[in-house]
Structure 1
Amino acid sequence: MAEGTIDYWKSEQLVLCHDDATGLRAAIAINDTTLGPGLGGVRCVRYPSDSAAITEAQRLAAAMTLKNAFAGLPYGGAKSVIEAPAPDIDRAALMRRFGQFVIRTGGAYIPGVDMGTSVDDLQLMADAGAEVSCNEEDPSPWTAVGVAAAVRAAIEHVDRREGIDGTTVLIQGAGHVGAALAADLAADGARILVADIDGERAAAVAASVGGSTVAADEVLSTPCDVLSPCSVAKVITPERVPLLACRMLVGAANDTLSDDVCAELLAAREITYVPDFISNAGGVIHIHSLRAGHDEPRLRADVLRIGARTHEVLEAAAASGQTPLAVAVQRVRRIIADARDASAGARSSGAARREGDRTLSAA
């Protein structure tokens, strides 16, 4: 497919939203609803083109299918993007209008916070009548808890020891997730390095955990045990893999790899990669916990199970010779295929019962 061309059939449902009165331009991509309604955040950033925005919505929606399924959650995958409004646009009116478009999906899409949106934005969508998540609590702290569990599991797998004391973790991105991750891992004895395009923010996070800073353009080449991308997507490209000076790659950023071939290149360099849809699932687990009414001890236990899932995938990859990404994707495909088979079986049984009832009635 030519660059800039949109594959409109890539998603189960693709909704384009446009409203002149509020300046809204948005896309909702619902990738798969086999396991339940599509759950995924609303990203509000500026895109170079309409095709770039729509393509990203579809790409992120597919990643949410993997994340929700692998975490054992009763949700499919979806995502939406909103073209960042001009400064003079009424943001509240825009978010409420987007909420009205969400209603039109008939419950097939449940939005949450993402890059460029906040709890307040989601509440505005809810005020318009949309079913949303993240309108009361920011899931970022729980995303960090899950990433920390994956980091510990990766270190224990690679080094065949318990604990992370003395290991060096370089966190790229000093936002809410990165800062919380730094504090969590430092408390267990890890040496923390922090990089961010905002040098002052990086310095503040590093100082809070007794760590050091790394220049934003030196992240890939800085020696460390674990590199943890916690900001932008597609940090790792085929061209950048040879530059890496880490032994493990475990982060919170969605779509850490620019494409799947990077997983093979990382394996060839003996760099252990934990697929981001495994490590960063703490936020969606938190969302489900709130919707299901679970208490915090259960929530914490559910999020910490990310560590066990990480360990299982890394062990399976080592035993099979496959990459962790290939192992994890195959598991998701089985989960979805089994759900579809079960659904088809239930429909078939129901049809047989109805036919039997009609036969008895005729008799």
Structure 2
Amino acid sequence: MSITSSPGFDQHESLAFHHDPETGLRAFVAIHRKRDGRGCGGIRYRPYSSEQAAIDDVLRLSAAMTRKAVLAGVAAGGAKSCVLADPSRPKTPALLQAMGQVVHSYGGAYVCAPDVGIGTEDLAVIRSVTPHVVAVDHPAAPYTARGTFRGIEAVAEWKLGRDRLEGVRVAIQGAGNVGAQLARLLVAAGAIVTIADTDTAKADALASELGARSIDPTALLDAEADILAPCALGGVLTRASVERLRVRAVAGAANNQLADPDAGRALASRGIAFAPDFVISAGGLIAGEHELDGFDESAVHEHIDRIRTTVLHVLERAATQSITETEAAERMVAERMGTR
């Protein structure tokens, strides 16, 4: 098992393994940076092929949360937890309460939120044990979708020369909470939407609801569209998969869409614009931070809508400096944190 040699390691403040034999809880919690005394990030619950795979994931995700918070203007650093789901054992209230005890043991230095495999009902159980939880009363998905929608508007303006989304073709990967909310916003704006999900019945139902089109998930990366919006698990963009794309831009809410930096360079070499996920998917984090300080819906929306401007700044900087969009965004993070 390796930590410092993991591709996700970025001078993290801490990484801890928590085990509760009685409930079967096995979880890694990573704090990348604390800002204003805390790091924020979701609890991911999924099967992992190994503990090393979970370590790699939690390190990457927590570092991305710091970048997301800095560029979103949120007074927090990044953290994350990954629970190793056991397919032979159900996700029980007792296990969730045990995870709540883990969160509580950080004394507010780790504030948790939803992620893959952990929804609002799960968080409500966790909140029965610790107050260091957000997105129970204000679920994150609509806010994440709103920020992603604003980012897509920016990409359409920059890459397509479009000041409206009417007629813009968007292929969405993932029909879960965020993907579905994003699809609704896009259709309402007049975009032409294609949806794919490994749960084909879910994709078909959403497409039927919206008058959109659903396709086989294995065909989505080959679909002709203006914008690809990955809204499922990360790592979808590799050098090989980028070569298959028939789009002019990628802008979606999934975390860690680039499998490695080479994928970002492949996008740039093909002239495909990319909205870094840690910029465009910050809506849920923004809403969660507003919960900690007193929630006002209009203020939250105003804050989230600034994502459009940030995405434009990233695209402009990448073009001006002849670097990838991820490199441009990371330089902005370093400047704002005073590390360069």
Same fold (TM over 0.5): yes
Secondary structure, in 3 states, of the residue corresponding to 1:303? helix
Aligned letter for 1:6? I
TM-superposed CA distance for 1:108, in Å, is 1.4
1:221 positional shift: 0.9
How far, CA to CA, are the matches of 1:89 and 1:273 in structure 2?
A: 38
- What is residue 277 of structure 2 aligned with on the other side? 276
User: What are the within-5 Å matches in structure 2 for residues 227-242 of structure 1?
Assistant: 227-242=228-243
Q: Residue 102 of structure 1: CA displacement?
A: 1.7
- SS of residue in 1 equivalent to 2:166: coil
Number of the residue aligned with 2:213: 212
For residues 37 and 220 of structure 2, what CA distance do their matches in structure 1 show? 38
Name the residue aligned to 1:256: 257
Map 1:39-188 to 2 at 5 A. 39-86=40-87, 88=89, 91-188=92-189
Question: Shift of the alpha carbon at 1:293?
Answer: 1.4
Report if aligned partners of 1:35, 1:336 keep a CA contact under 8 Å in 2. Answer: no
Distance 1:224 1:242, change over 3 A: same
The AA in structure 2 aligned to 1:11 is H
Deviation of residue 126 (structure 1)?
2.1
Residue of structure 2 in register with 1:299 after alignment: 300
1:332 CA drift (Å): 0.6
Q: In the alignment, which residue of structure 2 is the partner of 1:224?
A: 225
Residues 39-71 of structure 1, C-alpha deviations (whole Å, 9 max, x = no match): 000001111111111221111111111111110
Q: Distance in 2 between matches of 1:88 and 1:222?
A: 38
8 Å CA contact 1:22–1:90 kept in 2: the answer is no
Runs of 4 or more above 6 Å deviation: none
Q: After alignment, is 248-257 or 311-320 more displaced?
A: 311-320
User: Of residues 5, 11, 24 in structure 1, which corresponds to 2:2?
Assistant: 5
Give the corresponding residue for 1:348.
Answer: none
> Is the 2:47–2:87 contact (alpha carbons within 8 Å) kept by the matching residues of 1?
no
Amino acid at match of 1:99: G
Q: Normalized against structure 2, the TM-score is what?
A: 0.94
Query: How do 1:18-57 and structure 2 match up within 5 A?
Result: 18-57=19-58
CA distance in 2, matches of 1:131, 1:272: 37
Q: Matched residue of 1:61: which SS? A: helix
Partners of 1:100 and 1:130 within 8 A in 2: no
1:115-160 deviations in whole A, cap 9, x for unaligned?
0112222222222235111232311011111111100110111122
Superposed displacement of residue 87, structure 1:
5.3
Task: Determine helix, strand or coil for the equivalent of 2:193.
Answer: strand
TM-score by length of 1: 0.88
2:4 maps to a residue whose letter is D
Q: Percent identity?
A: 36
For residue 86 of structure 1, report the CA deviation from its aligned partner.
4.9
Q: CA deviation at 1:88?
A: 4.7
CA contact (8 A) 1:64 1:77 kept: yes
Give the drift of 1:28. 0.3
Larger Rg: 1
CA contact (8 A) 1:191 1:211 kept: yes
**How many angstroms does 1:95 deviate by?**
1.2
1:350 corresponds in structure 2 to none
Please give the alpha-carbon distance, in whole angstroms, between the structure 2 residues aligned to 1:31 and 1:50. 19
What letter corresponds to residue 243 of structure 1 in structure 2? Answer: R
2:35–2:75: 8 Å Cα contact kept in structure 1? no
2: distance between equivalents of 1:55 and 1:158? Answer: 33
Counterpart residue type for residue 134 of structure 2: S
Question: Helix, strand or coil: the match of 1:171?
Answer: strand
Q: Which moved more, 1:109-118 or 1:159-168?
A: 159-168
SS of residue matched to 1:102: helix
AA partner of residue 83 (structure 2):
I
Stretches of structure 1 that go unaligned for 5 or more consecutive residues are 342-363
